[in-house]
Structures are given as C-alpha cells and as structure tokens.
Amino acid sequence: MTRALFIVDVQNDFTEGGALGVAGGDDVASRISAHVAAHRHEYAIVVASRDWHDADNDNGGHFAAGEPDFVQTWPVHCVAGTAGAEYDDHFDTSAVSHHLKKGQGKPAYSLFEGETDEGVTVVRLLEEHGILDIDVVGIATDYCVRASALDAIAAGRHVRVLTDLVAGVAAETSDAALAEIAHAGGELTKTVD
C-alpha cells in the first residue's frame, strides 16, 4: 500500500463562522470523516495539516497590518492554541496518523511547509512509507489545497484531488486552481461511496 491521504486545514477558522470561513466547510469536514472511516484501509498514512500561526507577530506579513488584500495578506486566523486553529468539530481525527503544523511565524500554504511536533517533514514521511500516490482533500481549494497538490506533483507523486471533499473561497478561483492542478498532471475525481 503506497497511497496517502492529505487532509488540508480542516479548521474552525476556515469553516462556517470562522475568521476566514468558506461556505460548505462543515459539510466537507463531515464528508472527509465519512470517507476516512470507509477507506482508511486504502491509505498507508493519513496526514492532516493545520495553519498554526504565532500570536505575537504578523507571521512574516501574512497577517494584514491594515486592510487585508486576501491574496498575500489576511485577517488574523488560526492562531496557535486558539479555538480557531483547532480542527473543525465535524472532522473526526481518530484515524489521522500524522498531524502537521504550518505557518509558525511565516506565511505557509502547502502542507509540505509543515512538520509534526517532532520536526518530521512531509517529504520524510513520503520517503519512509514509500508513498507514490496521494489523495488530497480539505480547505481551501483555491489556496492551501492547490499549493499542497502542486507540491505533491512536483515531488514526483501521482496526485488525485477528490473534488467532492474540498471547499474553496470562490467558485472562479477554485475552478482555476483545479484546472492548474490538472494541467500539472494531477487527476480530478470524485469519491465513490
């Protein structure tokens, strides 16, 4: 078994009611949980990432000093140790084998920019477990899911984005992100449950 599941940033601040909540976030969290429950045996590892930003600085300009541009600068979100940084309540993390934190003082979009509390990187996890194939799900399609999928493709893995298990900020930018992933060699598919 050489397949991994990457679950990107299913956190309170990215679901309904959060600082950067996307429509459909809670529903995607529930559907990801159901997918993992039904298909855990298909994955050598299940990796979940979280934005985990510092509270005492702007995280390398990631947090806007004034009005955010929602491209490079953002409202304060996913501050380490706060409720907003925790996983969404609809996301059952019991089958997650590895938890990654990303950000931590700097901008970070891709799951590949994170590491475990022990300092283990995604690249190391992929190598240690002989992972060749990766399914990517989570939030937000047009930002962190996009970056994670493209980095996985760049790392030489076969990538599938499970399009019914992602939620994005906006339809236009989400569609563009999925098209970019497909153009880079990723596969776009839906789950079959």
Report the chain's C-alpha Rg in angstroms. Answer: 15
Residue showing tokens 């098209």: 179
From the list 13, 133, 144, 151, the catalytic residue is 144
pLDDT at 193 over 90: no
From the list 9, 13, 133, 135, the catalytic residue is 9
* Averaged pLDDT score across all residues of the chain: 95
Average pLDDT over residues 138-162: 97
User: Do residues 2 and 133 make contact, with C-beta atoms less than 8 angstroms apart?
Assistant: yes
From the list 51, 78, 88, 102, the catalytic residue is 102
Q: How far is CA 87 from CA 70, 78, 93, 111, 170, in A?
A: 22, 10, 8, 15, 22
Please give the pLDDT value at position 1. 65
Is 101 tagged catalytic?
no
Q: What's the pTM value of the predicted model, to 2 decimals?
A: 0.95
| Beta-carbon count within 10 A of 38 CB | 11
Provide the b/e sequence for 89-107 (b: ≥16 CB within 10 Å).
ebbbeebbebbbbbbbeeb
Amino acid in position 3: R
Q: What is the pLDDT of residues 76-113, one digit of tens each?
A: 999 999 999 999 999 999 999 999 999 998 999 999 99
Is 78 tagged catalytic?
no
